[in-house]
Amino acid sequence: MIKCLILSACLAVAAFPQAYDDPSRVLVIYRTNQSDADGNGQSDSKDLAEYYQAKRGIPAANLLGVSTPAEEMYHPASTLNNFYANFVTPLRNKLTELGETEINFIVLCKGIPYRMASKSSGSAVYPVGQQIAAIWAIGNDSASSTIGSVGSNPMYESSPGVGSDKGAFNHDTYKIYNGTNMYLVTHLNGSSFQNSKELVDRALYAEKYLYPDSSGTLGYYSPVGYVDTRYGYYNPDSLLAHYPVGYGSYGTADKDMSMGKRYIEQAGFKCRWEYSGSEIGESAALFQDGATSALTAPNAIFYGGWYNFMQYRTNTWTWMPGALACDLNSNSFSSTYSVYSFGSMAMVEGATAVSGVIDEPYLNGHTQPEKFLYYIMQGANYAEIAYHSDPRLGWKTWNVGDPLYRPLAVDKTPVVDDVPPPAPAIAEAVPGDDFSTRNFIISINTNGLDPDLVLVKLEYGETDAYGTTVDYSRFYRMKHTIALTGLTTDMTYHYRVTLKDPMGNETATEDLMFTTSPVSGESGVESLAAVSLSVFPNPFNPSTTIRFYLPISGKVTLDVCAVSGKRVARLLDEERKSGVYEVSFAAGANLPSGIYICHLKTGRLSRSVKLMLTR
């Protein structure tokens, strides 16, 4: 359903006139010598690059593979020459081939090291992306290297909303150092390759559905913005009259950061502001009304504030698909996975785009949260948001997310998400020989469909009344793993999976079954195919289609049986490669109405689903 309203009241139309960026201006770089965990014959980093390419329509010629060290960092003594020979030179050649000013955005896929040290900086480290942004100005080898040379960022907007703002990126306007070209560089680098792919899907979901609805009455996808400052309440009119006061001291920086609340609310979103000395998630923290606890931050879509140094409070934030976050502190984004880094854990828990630092930036060298929020509301894409709010180039900032992600495009037409999630694929795995445990890998595929991410609930028991529930998880994902433990061996269990998307739309499977019986003479179960009848006639008369998925190749039998266990039809008994298959079943004239069980067996396990024939 489309509502014909236009988002324009608070957006700077002249600064960001386009709704979407040209995908031919994106260059995607992946690691050729990355591992191949899924066994498809190419590196997982290349899989990620091709996933992003397909989702965004990027030309195949705009992919570049490079060989890099296995660790996450280029060390100056041992790998700086490697960086120039195997990364910088191929990249410069590719940019020359495509046209030096024909590329605006460079995406570094997971597997590419994200940190490096300069030859003369001792223990100081710098993000690789900051050096790639200045690819033509960082020297040609270790002897001429200027890695770690800090410069001003020509994209930085020091006073947004005061006079004319700096706008969309282009090569004519924004040059660096001695007039050389710069690029906007971000990473697709989640805690896993699956998480990295989902950064793209979360961005696509918000691009389609995110729209301001602070009253909650219009039915749009409109989660909550959060701002966290430290030194008390500021009168909003006074803040506006004196903005910006700058990042020369903690007190002035705190005042500037408080402007984030104004920007979020002017855009039409609900905002919760915590302004005491406590951070959101601490027991003493309170939101602006002075009465509402800030112990949790549910339904978060925007966040800008400080000072979560060396901490991230789990069970505090619920990041919604499309969430953008910037917490100013000295280790705000130190690695891909660190329980002591706000940005790292925000990514693990479902944020879509995060800007932070990998090392001490000092107060005036960090991405500035209120400017980050300002440019979100102005209709910029994530790369522009990140660079407009960062005062330095070549310094400490690490930007992770899809550069093309434009949460609030100018003249965006709102769309209500009233579409249930697609039916899941379900794979089962027994860890080792422990038949009292069963892992369920539940995933959705949105290729050719509207973007979606889901929470998952699994109910199970010895009958179709179930009785035990693994309730909805906290994180919206496209792939979930649920472990059931303490199962009885040699028992058939019933179960049902329910998916719920960010707007509460649900999809539930039919009653499904699995058996915990061990089979002698075989070892090591890796996974089990899924049988799904959710999109085929069921009940049926006289025919239906059985769809199943094999994550690994193997011998497959597919039977239809009466509830007594007597087989009425064998549909398959053969070797099949991994993949998705459909098999038709037509009930003969002599088969009476009633309930039948379809059994799929591969390897050591069996999978069952209920069929109902209605004459």
For residues 112 and 90, give the distance between their C-alpha atoms in angstroms, rounded to a whole number.
14
Which range has the worst mean pLDDT, 182-191, 332-341, 594-603? 594-603
Confidence class for position 527, pLDDT limits 50, 70, 90: very low
**pLDDT computed for residue 142 by the predictor:** 81
Exposed/middle/buried for residue 313 (C-beta within 10 Å: 0-12, 13-18, 19+)? middle
Which of 52-61, 184-193, 445-454 comes out lowest in average pLDDT? 445-454
Q: Distance between CA atoms of 204 and 562, rounded to whole angstroms? A: 45
Q: 366 pLDDT exceeds 50? A: yes
Q: Which residues contact 104 (CB under 8 A, 6 or more apart)?
A: 21, 25, 26, 169, 170, 171, 183, 184, 383
The pLDDT score that the predictor gives to residue 534 is 43
Residue 563: pLDDT band (50, 70, 90) is confident
Confidence band of 12 (pLDDT split at 50, 70, 90): very low
pLDDT level of residue 115 (50, 70, 90 thresholds): very high
pTM for this entry: 0.85
User: Using the 8-state DSSP alphabet, how is residue 479 labeled?
Assistant: E
Q: What percent of the chain has pLDDT over 70?
A: 91
Q: What is the mean pLDDT of the chain?
A: 89
CA angle (291 as vertex; 325, 315 as ends), nearest 5: 40
466 φψ region: left (φ > 0), alpha (ψ -120 to 50), beta (else): left
Q: What is the mean pLDDT of residues 367-382?
A: 98
Residue appearing with tokens 């099949």: 576
- Model confidence at 530, pLDDT cuts 50, 70, 90, reads very low
Question: In angstroms, how far is the first alpha carbon of the chain from the final one?
Answer: 37
> Sorting pLDDT into bands at 50, 70 and 90, what band is 526?
very low
Domain ranges of the chain: 23-400, 425-613
- Give SS3 for 545: strand
Higher pLDDT, 344 or 81: 344
Cα angle 229, 361, 226 (rounded to 5 degrees) comes to 25
Average pLDDT, stretch 550-561?
Answer: 82
Is the pLDDT confidence value at 412 over 60?
A: yes
Q: Could you identify the residue written with the tokens 């089979």? A: 519
Cβ-in-10-Å burial (0-12, 13-18, 19+) of 390 comes to buried
Beta strands in 178-280 (DSSP E): 180-181, 184-188, 224-228, 271-274
Q: Which amino acid is at 96?
A: T
CA distances from 54 to 47, 194, 201 (A): 11, 15, 12
Q: What is the pLDDT of residues 299-354, one digit of tens each?
A: 999 999 999 999 999 899 999 999 999 999 999 999 888 889 999 999 999 999 99
Distance CA 446, CA 439 (A): 23
Reported as half-sphere exposure (CB side, CA atoms, 13 A), residue 436 has a value of 3
The confidence score (pLDDT) of residue 606 equals 61
Highest mean pLDDT among 269-278, 528-537, 573-582: 269-278
Q: What is the CA radius of gyration of the chain?
A: 27
Give 408's DSSP letter.
T
pLDDT in tens, 87-113: 999 999 999 999 999 999 999 999 999
What is the C-alpha to C-alpha distance for residues 313 and 297, in angstroms, rounded to an integer?
11
DSSP state of 157: -
pLDDT of residue 468: 97
pLDDT band with cut points at 50, 70 and 90 for residue 518: low
Q: What is the pLDDT of residue 532?
A: 45
The H helix count followed by the E strand count for the chain is 10, 32
Give the confidence band of 374 by pLDDT, cuts at 50, 70, 90: very high
What does the pLDDT look like over 439-475, one tens digit per residue? 999 999 898 889 999 999 999 999 999 999 999 989 9
